[in-house]
Structure 1
Amino acid sequence: MASQGEKGELHKKIDQLEKENRRLRVLLDVANSLQAELELDKLLFKIMEEVAEILDADRCTVFLYDKERNELWSLVAMGLQKGEEIRFPADKGIAGHVAQTGEILNIPDAYQDPRFNPEIDKKTGYRTRSILTMPLYNKMHEIIGVFQILNKRNGPFTKDDENLLAAISQIAATAIENAQLYDEQVKSLDSFIETLSATLDTRDYITAGHSRRVTEYTLALADAMGVDEEFKRQLRYAGLLHDIGKLKIPESVLFKADKLTPEEFEIIKLHPQVTREILSKIHFQRKLKDVPEIAATHHERLDGTGYPEGLKGEEIPFGGRMICLVDVFDALTSERQYRDRAPLEKVWDIVEKETGTTFDPRCVEAFKTIPAGRIIEIMEHQRQEDFNQAEIERLYQVPIIDIIEIKRKAPESRTPQESEILETFDKYYWRDY
């Protein structure tokens, strides 16, 4: 029969095993949670949220090391507005000390430590008490950032907290490196697509800026419809490249001043299919696989009379239906060498007439809600430095459909407020500024 001492030792070992099992479960949960997230800002927020919960702390911040600028920065921090960026020299404060030395610092009272930098507290209105700060290492054992955990809820941070954070930091560092690599790939693809789109503008001087405006109108429409960020990224690329097939259209046809012959119009109608062929050769990630199809269907019509395939209704990708509307809107509201912009109310008469046959009614309804200020900013993006920002902000308070409805009224029927807002809108629409 076991003695009391043996029983006590056995219970102690069982407690240690249970503690280690809990630690392993936590690490497994963290690894599973982080490995699926590739977008850096979302990953950082997830890391901060989970670590603060695991260590029963008030706040966690991950500061990443910007080697070129020799700064530590955090894109998001719990308790701050998401997307706000904090930057400071990489040798300042407790986080800076850890970044320079690789030490782990467990400080029970921050304001008693001369290395503590109170500037962030001043900026955020936060009061730091206890701090646990630890370096983040990459696979080459280079410091890529710093974990900083603030204000453990029941006393100071313990040695067990340090050990657990050290294990989590290895998982987090790998996830951050993967996200940074993904971010570089995204930036490279962005740069490539922007360059490709600019190439078309360089060739087609008549409609220069069209692809960018179509993209911005599409994103404004996407915001009005509440689509997610992943779909918006597809829309952005499809908008920028929707006319890339025109690179293969002969200049004699593309830039012809006179009316096109039926044969020449058939050549023009080939460009969406060429767009599909060009974009299908780009290796888009799985999340972006629909970009070629969205870009290639912006001339399809709901009633099946569009081109190049005569798709009908739901056969047309929703993104293609969105671009179809804004493509026509931009064409009618853009200046050409041979004509001014069409009056906005006349443009909308055409849109309403074609709703249900050419345009998806859901897209049209959502477009009505886009702020007039955003429409002007897109329309006149090359001249924004000349804007009166107070006037643009005022136009942001008015949906574009309200401007259209005011225009449809007889001048004597408009209220003074309506006349004033219309005068402001027309000032930018007709470039009287």
Structure 2
Amino acid sequence: MLVRLAQEKGLGNLMQRILREARGLTGAEGGTFYRFIDDGDNSRLAFSVVHNTVLGIEAMINEGQDQGWPPIQLYKDGEPNHRNVASHVGLTRQAVNIPDVYDAEMFDFTGTRHFDAAHDYRSQSMLTLPLLNHEDEIIGVMQLINARDADGITRPFSPEDQATVQAMAKFAAITLDNQLLVQSHKDLLDAFIQALARIIDVRSAHTSAHCQRIPVLTELIAQAACEDTDGVFADFNLNDDEWYELHVAAWLHDCGKLATSENVLNKGRKLQKLHDGFESVRARFASAVAVAQSDDEKAALRDDMEFVEQVNRGGEFMSDEYKARIERIATGTWPDAYGEPRPLLTEDEVYNLNITRGTINNEERAEINRHIDITIDILEGLPFPPKLRRVPEYAGGHHERMDGKGYPRGLTRDQLSIPARMMGVADIFEALTAKERPYKPPMPLSQAFTILRRMRDDNHIDGDVFELFLRSGKWRKYAQDHLLPEQDDIEDVEPFITGDA
């Protein structure tokens, strides 16, 4: 029995095991395991596991989803709640053994009577005892109902029953406390990495929530792979530890952006530095218009200014024709305060306005790309335990390409794990469909899927992951939760997979 307790993984499974073993030792037909929630005057015992073999109940209950099992408060109106037997045991840390709850006067069993009436049941003998950690602090309460003898007749819990279960509870409490400690460390790690992700997201309104959406998308794709029973991913599966490893990696995939300049992260216009540089350009055009010699010259200047304003948004591809026009506009002049002619556009402005796609120039792109090197350096420098050892590989591979032309390490498909390939698709899909990008309207799914298909055909992203994502329908769940309704314009995904769309 002690070995079985020690081998259980997960708090829920362990609490199930503790209750099941206690029932087996005493012949109890039912029982409840309460987990202690330390919250000051709002401290409570949360129903965690409920068993009853007569009623066919064997349930695990998550706090906040009480499913008709509301928590028991240890204090009411600031006073200790000794009227409920479970809260009394939690407060006093002393076991209570009751032969028949209907005869007990010290405790209020109104709730028990209501339960019995609703289920045509009869609660009789009850043994309630605390689970204490190594510091003699309450961590849970276990309650057993209706001990039965060899003939199946309900009997009181004997002193031997109580002593046996209390001895087991001491070891069970140690095991439970160890798992609670592990869980508290995981909760702290989760809170820390999610705080980091939020810090990264709030640094740039243009990519806000990106770090929070990638875990959602990556885990949706991984779920689809785990559910695939006869396709490419039929042999793919993740256990609890591997799910958590993927979860941590997805949240940390862009942690290196903490070292990226906010000016670059927030560059929503081609001429933007600390502010949008187009306002300076507008003032120069206004000065040039003021000294223009004819209405035609003024109209041409205004047309050029509107063109520069349009190009500055970075929302469209810059053809050679567009670039040549920017070069021509730059040769125009405006009179400064001393009457000296100055170029309408500086060399730096021409360079930035002629960015082929988007708003980021080559040097800024290199600075942004450097974030993945920093991410890998940070993660490889952390003392991850063995169960999280692949976090750096998962998080650091989302900018690699299947043909080896990605960065930072130029890895090929065969050198990348399946989770890393999944994260690569998730990262691109989120960037394409994000609704906060200032240089483009929210992209409809049809356009995003078309781009992803081309990237698959160019051996940029993993084709199997792409097809899994589309055919599984996981994208629809993401769209419902994170995209605008008008972005979902898809009826059938097959044309986007076959290339017929």
TM-score grouping bracket, smaller chain normalisation: 0.7 to 0.9
Query: How far did residue 298 of structure 1 move?
Result: 0.6
Aligned match of 2:6: 35
Aligned match of 1:403: 491
Query: How far did residue 62 of structure 1 move?
Result: 2.1
2:61 corresponds to 1:83: yes
| Structure with the largest fraction of helix | 1
Contact map agreement 2:101 2:125 (CA 8 A) in 1: yes
Aligned match of 2:452: 351
Give the AA of the match of 1:337: P
Aligned match of 1:138: 133
Task: Give the whole-Å Cα distance in 1 for the aligned partners of 2:489 and 2:14.
Answer: 39
Query: How far did residue 406 of structure 1 move?
Result: 9.8
2:466 paired residue among 356, 360, 364: 364
Contact map agreement 2:47 2:61 (CA 8 A) in 1: no
**Structure 1: stretches of 5+ with no match in the other structure:** 1-28, 388-399, 409-433
Deviations 1:231-261 (A, max 9, x none): 2322222222211212323445544544345
- After superposition, the Cα gap between the structure-2 partners of 1:351 and 1:55, relative to the gap in structure 1 and judged at 3 Å, is farther
Task: Give the whole-Å Cα distance in 1 for the aligned partners of 2:112 and 2:495.
Answer: 50
Task: Give the whole-Å Cα distance in 2 for the aligned partners of 1:58 and 1:319.
Answer: 45
- After superposition, the Cα gap between the structure-2 partners of 1:290 and 1:350, relative to the gap in structure 1 and judged at 3 Å, is same
- SS of the aligned residue for 1:132 comes to strand
Aligned match of 2:479: 376
2:397 corresponds to 1:297: yes
Give the AA of the match of 1:233: Y
Query: How far did residue 38 of structure 1 move?
Result: 6.2
Bigger relative CO (Cα 8 Å, ≥ 6 apart): 2
Contact map agreement 1:216 1:378 (CA 8 A) in 2: no
Task: Give the whole-Å Cα distance in 1 for the aligned partners of 2:438 and 2:254.
Answer: 20
- SS of the aligned residue for 2:72 comes to strand
- After superposition, the Cα gap between the structure-2 partners of 1:217 and 1:108, relative to the gap in structure 1 and judged at 3 Å, is same
**Structure 2: stretches of 5+ with no match in the other structure:** 52-56, 64-68, 75-80, 227-237, 271-354, 497-501
Task: Give the whole-Å Cα distance in 2 for the aligned partners of 1:401 and 1:161.
Answer: 65
Aligned residues: 362
Contact map agreement 2:34 2:49 (CA 8 A) in 1: no
Query: How far did residue 211 of structure 1 move?
Result: 0.9
Task: Give the whole-Å Cα distance in 2 for the aligned partners of 1:360 and 1:82.
Answer: 39
Give the AA of the match of 1:351: L
Task: Give the whole-Å Cα distance in 1 for the aligned partners of 2:24 and 2:401.
Answer: 52
Larger of the two Rg values belongs to structure: 2
Give the % identical residues. 29
Q: How does 1:24-423 map to 2 (within 5 A)?
A: 29-30=1-2, 32-37=3-8, 39-67=10-38, 68=40, 69-78=42-51, 79-85=57-63, 86=69, 87-90=71-74, 91=81, 92-114=83-105, 115=107, 117-119=109-111, 122=114, 127=121, 128-154=123-149, 155-156=154-155, 157-226=157-226, 227-251=238-262, 253-256=264-267, 257-258=269-270, 259=355, 260-335=360-435, 336-355=437-456, 357-368=459-470, 369-371=472-474, 374-380=477-483, 403-405=491-493
Query: How far did residue 100 of structure 1 move?
Result: 3.4
- After superposition, the Cα gap between the structure-2 partners of 1:312 and 1:183, relative to the gap in structure 1 and judged at 3 Å, is same
Q: What's the RMSD between the two structures over aligned residues?
A: 3.0
Give the AA of the match of 2:477: R
Task: Give the whole-Å Cα distance in 1 for the aligned partners of 2:115 and 2:192.
Answer: 38
Task: Give the whole-Å Cα distance in 2 for the aligned partners of 1:361 and 1:121.
Answer: 61
Contact map agreement 1:221 1:367 (CA 8 A) in 2: yes
Contact map agreement 1:136 1:147 (CA 8 A) in 2: yes
More displaced stretch, 308-317 vs 85-94: 85-94
Deviations 1:328-352 (A, max 9, x none): 1111111311111222112112223
Query: How far did residue 123 of structure 1 move?
Result: 6.2
Task: Give the whole-Å Cα distance in 2 for the aligned partners of 1:262 and 1:113.
Answer: 80
Query: How far did residue 297 of structure 1 move?
Result: 0.6
What TM-score comes out, normalization by structure 2 length? 0.65
Query: How far did residue 116 of structure 1 move?
Result: 5.4
Give the AA of the match of 1:214: I
Give the AA of the match of 1:274: I
- After superposition, the Cα gap between the structure-2 partners of 1:370 and 1:108, relative to the gap in structure 1 and judged at 3 Å, is farther
Contact map agreement 1:38 1:178 (CA 8 A) in 2: no
More displaced stretch, 53-62 vs 329-338: 53-62
- After superposition, the Cα gap between the structure-2 partners of 1:378 and 1:287, relative to the gap in structure 1 and judged at 3 Å, is farther
Task: Give the whole-Å Cα distance in 1 for the aligned partners of 2:364 and 2:95.
Answer: 72
Contact map agreement 2:404 2:410 (CA 8 A) in 1: yes
Query: How far did residue 118 of structure 1 move?
Result: 4.8
- After superposition, the Cα gap between the structure-2 partners of 1:52 and 1:182, relative to the gap in structure 1 and judged at 3 Å, is same
Contact map agreement 2:31 2:144 (CA 8 A) in 1: yes
- After superposition, the Cα gap between the structure-2 partners of 1:252 and 1:143, relative to the gap in structure 1 and judged at 3 Å, is closer
What TM-score comes out, normalization by structure 1 length? 0.74
- SS of the aligned residue for 2:4 comes to helix
- SS of the aligned residue for 1:223 comes to helix
- SS of the aligned residue for 2:130 comes to strand
Query: How far did residue 74 of structure 1 move?
Result: 2.5
Query: How far did residue 35 of structure 1 move?
Result: 3.1
Deviations 1:283-334 (A, max 9, x none): 3333222222211111112232221112222421222111111111111111
- SS of the aligned residue for 1:303 comes to coil
- After superposition, the Cα gap between the structure-2 partners of 1:220 and 1:162, relative to the gap in structure 1 and judged at 3 Å, is same
- SS of the aligned residue for 2:378 comes to helix
